[in-house]
Chain A
Amino acid sequence: MIVEQISVFVENKAGSIEKVTIALANAGIGIRTFCTEDGSDFGILRMLVTDPKKAESVLKDNGFSAFCNKVVAAKCANKTGSLAYLLNKLAERNVSVEYMYAFQDNDEARVVLRTKDIELCNTIIEEQ
């Protein structure tokens, strides 16, 4: 499944991620999962949220630099070896993963995948 991901520029400073979460909470937007990528002075906070379009405009209105793009949220069975199987299918088709993170959606595990070609990645995943 292709989903919208929100990325926000944050300074490496106490309270900077908190400000993002407060802005979203005040707008009634829930965070389903997130991960951070760290640089030395700044980082990027990536999130899947309940309403990505609204989140993008809320964050921009609150003065944040935010970016919205597409990622694949792949179902992954809750058993040993299933992630290896999924990654093997991508590797067979020479799809390289730029980054990934995971979350639990009801009883299912989901793996968020960012690749160069999101459509291709999604097709391979859906074929399974």
Chain B
Amino acid sequence: MNKDFYNPVEGISRDELRKLQYTRLQKTIASALNVPFYQKAFKALGLSASDIRSLDDIIKLPFTTKDDLRNNYPFKMAAIPLKDCVRVHSSSGTTGNPTVVLHSKNDLDAWAELVARNLYMVGVRDTDVFQNTSGYGMFTGGLGFQYGAEKLGCLTVPAAAGNSKRQIKFMKDFGTTVVHIIPSYATRLAEVMAEEGVDPKKDLKIRILAIGAEPHTEEQRKRIEELLGVKAYNSFGMSEMCGPGVAFECKEQNGLHIWEDNVIVEIVNPVTLQPVPDGEIGELVLTTLNREAMPLIRYRTRDLTRIIPGDCPCGRTHRRLARFQGRSDDMMILKGVNIFPIQIEKILMGYKELGSNFLITLETISNNDEMTVEVELGELGTDNVGDLKDLVKDITRKLKDEILITPKVKLVPKGSLPSAEGGKAVRVKDLRKLF
């Protein structure tokens, strides 16, 4: 068994881990009860801290939602005095008040440790040059990875988002070996490299990518790995928990170890809110175990995933989350069918003839809700329109098999759809007339 862990806690027994979780849960509850929101929530359930006698009693605790965080904007979720907080991060807040997350000095240290742990797990060492293409500022992907990579001792390149030519120049000149990047931007960057005559396999030293912040498919990961000649590892985080670092893939590339010394993991049925057994898909619910400034109890992440049952060959005992199946709020309902953009992406990525950008448009055409999927053609492999029409037919059939609805599929030229330059690509346009 490989015991080359950044932190010995990665390999402790499940029993020890559960004991540690219970001790830390009691601390989290005590600290949360400094927050009026939790005082009220406990009171409403007739619950006191002493009712939680074991880890299994967690199901007695109240849930916390994104709306709860919004309603307590900006600092009403703080469990410690503001003078002991040293940083605030927030979500974009496109739909109302942003969600705000406060950090103490210890919170930031613990967060950096998680990120360092993740990077170490996939083979990053202090000899590596780490380039971060995330936006800095309020978005946690910037500073989160920055401090983690510094803690590990990497030479860090805080390149931040966008400006592809400059990114590639830094990669070349600084000998970048590790890059944190969102998947759609990784494919975009590969395109710019081709345009600039840079062969990533010969001209660059990149060997590891940390990819995350955007749902993506196994096909897309494989494509990125092939395009750039790297190993790409999935990263999962959310600002409400701290940011990146919450869960990360090991070298097995089969699920993301979620650090259970840092959070308690539950997967619940999003409708009944009852826990589902390991292996079944549900909404990820997390309880923080190390947070001082803003402890969260049973936070509903809206991310749909499942626990991969069984032990990981890498020897880490912390359970693995499967690839995310989308978010409960990304879900489109068309003709009564629930559809996630990632289902469509998965099919499109299976075609080597297609590029990586696509756009789903939902619109009402003569009182009927219709879906159009526009996708960019990659390289042209034919001089015949007939071959392209066959391609469209084949894509349409495969999509119908996956989502049970027949979309209109349109091939469009490269560069005509929105791509992700540092941000998340717009994949769905809903123009339906809703009554």
Q: Closest CB-CB distance, B266 to chain A, in whole Å?
A: 47
Q: Does B411 contact A (CB under 8 A)?
A: yes
Of B114-122, B383-391, B427-435, the one touching chain A: B383-391
Q: What residues of chain A lie closer than 8 Å to B414, measured between beta carbons? A: 63-65
Q: What residues of chain A lie closer than 8 Å to B195, measured between beta carbons? A: 61
In the complex, the chain B residue whose C-beta lies closest to that of A11 is: B413
Q: Hey, what's the 0/1 contact readout for B372-398 against A, CB within 8 Å counting as 1?
A: 000001111111110011000000000
Q: Is the CB of A39 within 8 A of B385?
A: yes
Q: Is the CB of A7 within 8 A of B413?
A: no
A-contacting residues, B146-175, CB 8 Å: none
Q: What residues of chain B lie closer than 8 Å to A46, measured between beta carbons? A: 383
Beyond A10-B413, A38-B385, A65-B414, 8 additional contacts (C-beta under 8 Å) are A7-B380, A11-B413, A39-B389, A42-B412, A64-B413, A65-B379, A69-B383, A98-B384
Q: What residues of chain A lie closer than 8 Å to B411, measured between beta carbons? A: 9, 41-42
Q: Does B36 contact A (CB under 8 A)?
A: no
Q: Closest CB-CB distance, B355 to chain A, in whole Å?
A: 9
- Total interface residues on B, CB under 8 Å, equals 19
Q: Is the CB of A5 within 8 A of B410?
A: no
Q: Is the CB of B378 within 8 A of A37?
A: no
Q: A50–B22 Cα gap in the complex (Å)?
A: 76
Binding site for A on B (CB under 8 A): 195, 377-385, 388-389, 410-416
In the complex, the chain B residue whose C-beta lies closest to that of A7 is: B383
Q: A114–B382 Cα gap in the complex (Å)?
A: 12
In the complex, the chain B residue whose C-beta lies closest to that of A40 is: B389
Q: A16–B411 Cα gap in the complex (Å)?
A: 14
Q: What residues of chain B lie closer than 8 Å to A55, measured between beta carbons? A: none
Q: Hey, what's the 0/1 contact readout for A8-48 against B, CB within 8 Å counting as 1?
A: 11110000100000000000000000000111011110100
Q: Hey, what's the 0/1 contact readout for A107-120 against B, CB within 8 Å counting as 1?
A: 00000001000000
Q: A114–B410 Cα gap in the complex (Å)?
A: 27
- Of A7, A9, A39, A66, most B-chain CB atoms within 10 Å: A9
Pairs across A and B, CB under 8 Å, 15 listed: A7-B383, A9-B377, A10-B413, A37-B385, A39-B385, A39-B389, A42-B388, A42-B410, A43-B385, A44-B384, A46-B383, A65-B377, A65-B378, A67-B380, A67-B381
Q: What residues of chain B lie closer than 8 Å to A41, measured between beta carbons? A: 410-411
Q: A5–B416 Cα gap in the complex (Å)?
A: 25
Q: What residues of chain B lie closer than 8 Å to A43, measured between beta carbons? A: 385
Q: Is the CB of A44 within 8 A of B388?
A: yes
State the 7 A-B residue pairs at the shortest beta-carbon distance, nearest first. Answer: A65-B380, A67-B380, A7-B383, A37-B385, A39-B385, A63-B415, A65-B377
Q: What residues of chain B lie closer than 8 Å to A11, measured between beta carbons? A: 412-413, 416
